[in-house]
Amino acid sequence: MNLARRVFWIKLLTILVLMGLWEGLSRSGLFYKGVLPSTWMVVQAIAGELADSGFYHDLGITLLETSVGFVAGAIIALLFALVLGTNAYIRKMIEPYIIAIGGTPKIIFLPILFLIFGLGIESKMAKAALSAFFPIVLSVTSGIVQIPPVLLRVGRGFDLSRWQMLTKIYLPAVTNSLLTGLQLGIAMAIIGVLSAEISYANAGLGYRLIRDADQFKISSVYAIIILIFTVSATINFAIIRLQQRLNRHERSREAADVVLVPVELKRDASTSALQS
Amino acid sequence: MARAFNSAVKSRRPLVPPALAGLLFLALLLALVEFAVRADIIPRLVVARPSDAIAGLVTLQNRADLRDGFLITFRMTAIAMVLELLVALPLGYFLFRRRDFALAYSGWLAALFAAPVFLLYPLFLVIFGRSEITLIIMGFLPGVIPLIIQVEQGFHGVSSTLINVGRSVGVTAWQNFWKIMIPAAAPSIFTGFRLALIYTLINIIAIEYLVDIGGLGRIVADRYFRFDISGTYTAITAVAAISILFNWLIGRLERWVRPT
């Protein structure tokens, strides 16, 4: 059996074994009735959620809170990263605090966000922004710091304006770190919004989950968790695909450069920039 | 001439060292907030005076038993970490030895790593109740995933020369694992351990906050639910300071294990 086929069978068998274990445990009587619903009940609950308009309303609220918060957090993070990445003194001054706060559990800041932004969707957006900010700022700052100095010298050598430096040198050079940061940031934003909704909300998937858990609708809880995991995995997958596409584009552009620009000319351009 | 100028620029020291400037900047920020709250520009019901929040650190010990909270969270984290190591070391080694299983599971592990695993807590609450077992499981699940990934990567990075030398002197599979593989993969395993520790701690504090049980997270929730604004800020400062200290210590330990 070749490797790809073996991998396929391992995946399939693992899923079957896990489902069998689940089914066995649910029928074993080891747990209180309803605590571990059968797989069929969960499938029914998923279908029930998908047929319920309330689910889409809550999904819409969660996606709105996540996307607005994420965009706000990402913009602030990029501005910070630009300053921190291009100014070593300010980086040494502020980065330790960003790293320190970035490693703390953000949920403990929820009371402050509730006090400042209220209990509505604004506080959830703020939580998404806060959660997304740290991975993006750290990833992009590190990306800017790692830009080969020769690229910056080439830019300065060609007397590029600040805007041109940003769009022609910095942005292309940090594409990978930016996408990694955005990927982490969106995952954190989703977690941030859900935790805030669980803590206090009257709409959104986190609220829906905790409401059903409080009402002991366990099948629905499983269904909502599976649906949330699916949404989050889809977003994650989309960003990974985007990253792969950009990387391919970058590679093909580099290959085209190699073909179109004679090596000697490229070397001349970089050495003249270094001299200036 | 240009070289002399460059070396002069390089040797020029800033007037204020950046670390000190950072501290001054933080102090200035806090002073501004203090002024804004005292002048009622920011309502006291929304933001506590920084001086009250910092002074409250002394009284917080009496009101909410910070020490006890820290010990509870620390104990839960330690138990979860031991379980994570017990699961991740053999599983990571297995994935290293069996490429087919590694290929089958690596995508799932990466997806789980990014998934909001903490959402599973209502299910464990139903099964185990508002108990320490729920906290330990909720710390274990998000921590074990990065640890498995790092352990597998660590074993992959072990030089084949080391393994061949081991074979040539006739070591057993057990000796190969403990005497060659584990020490050689230790730096990468420790990176996984650090990541796992941070995820475990963050998730345990999050569940403590949401369910109002356990240690540090519960203290923040407790102060907030009592609408003790200054106490809430104090509790947040204390919990943030403890986790910053914790992360710093782990970072130092990692640098000791993995000098660069």
pLDDT score for B56: 82
d(CA A81, CA A144): 8
Most confident of A232-241, B108-117, B130-139: B130-139
pLDDT score for A163: 85
Question: Could you tell me which of A48, A26, A198, A7 has the C-alpha nearest to residue B118?
Answer: A198
pLDDT score for B86: 95
Residues of chain B with pLDDT > 90: what percent?
21
pLDDT band at A260 (very low <50, low <70, confident <90, very high): very low
Question: Does position B11 have pLDDT exceeding 60, yes or no?
Answer: no
Most confident of A44-53, B204-213, B249-258: A44-53
Mean pLDDT of chain A: 85
Average pLDDT, integer, range B39-61: 84
**A42-51: long-range contacts (C-beta < 8 A, 24 or more apart)?**
A42/A219, A42/A222, A42/A223, A42/A226, A44/A219, A45/A219, A45/A220, A45/A222, A45/A223, A46/A223, A46/A226, A46/A227, A48/A220, A48/A223, A49/A220, A49/A223, A49/A224, A49/A227, A50/A227
Average pLDDT, integer, range B91-117: 87
Subunit contact B100:A104, Cβ cutoff 8 A: no
Residue A21 distance to chain B (closest CA, Å): 17
pLDDT score for A132: 94
User: Which of A3-7, B33-37, B100-104, B243-247 shows the lowest per-residue confidence on average (mean pLDDT)?
Assistant: B243-247
Question: Could you tell me which of B207, B203, B33 has the C-alpha nearest to residue A116?
Answer: B33
pLDDT band at B257 (very low <50, low <70, confident <90, very high): low
Most confident of A255-264, B10-19, B137-146, B181-190: B137-146
Question: B69 Cβ partners below 8 Å, 6+ apart?
Answer: B214, B215, B216, B218, B219
Subunit contact A218:B123, Cβ cutoff 8 A: yes
- The ipTM value here is 0.80
Question: Does position A259 have pLDDT exceeding 60, yes or no?
Answer: no
pLDDT band at A216 (very low <50, low <70, confident <90, very high): confident
pLDDT score for A251: 65
Write the residue in A10, A93, A191 that is nearest to B25 by C-beta. Answer: A93
Subunit contact A111:B123, Cβ cutoff 8 A: no
What residues of chain A, 220 to 239, have a C-beta less than 8 Å from chain B? 221-222, 225, 228-229, 232-233, 236
pLDDT band at B141 (very low <50, low <70, confident <90, very high): very high
- Written as one string, the DSSP assignment of B160-196 is HHHHHHHHHTT--HHHIIIIIIHHHHHHHHHHHHHHH
Higher pLDDT, B10 or B32: B32
| For A219, nearest residue in chain B (alpha carbons) | B123
- Asked if A134 is an interface residue toward chain B (Cβ–Cβ < 8 A), one would say no
Average pLDDT, integer, range A253-270: 45
Average pLDDT, integer, range B104-132: 85
pLDDT score for A4: 87
pLDDT score for A74: 95
pLDDT score for A267: 39
Question: Does position A171 have pLDDT exceeding 70, yes or no?
Answer: yes
| For B46, nearest residue in chain A (alpha carbons) | A115
Write the residue in B111, B122, B220 that is nearest to A236 by C-beta. Answer: B111
The alpha carbon of B55 is separated from its chain's Cα centroid by a whole number of angstroms, namely: 27
d(CA B210, CA B206): 6
pLDDT score for A274: 33
pLDDT score for A194: 93
pLDDT band at A64 (very low <50, low <70, confident <90, very high): very high
Question: Does position A266 have pLDDT exceeding 90, yes or no?
Answer: no
pLDDT score for A227: 94
Write out pLDDT tens, residues A114-161: 989 989 999 999 999 999 999 999 999 999 988 888 888 888 888 888
A to B CB pairs, distance under 8 Å: 137
Buried b / exposed e along B11-33 (16+ C-beta atoms within 10 A): eeeeeeebeebbeeeeeeeeeeb
Residue A11 distance to chain B (closest CA, Å): 6
Question: Does position B226 have pLDDT exceeding 80, yes or no?
Answer: yes
Average pLDDT, integer, range B160-174: 86
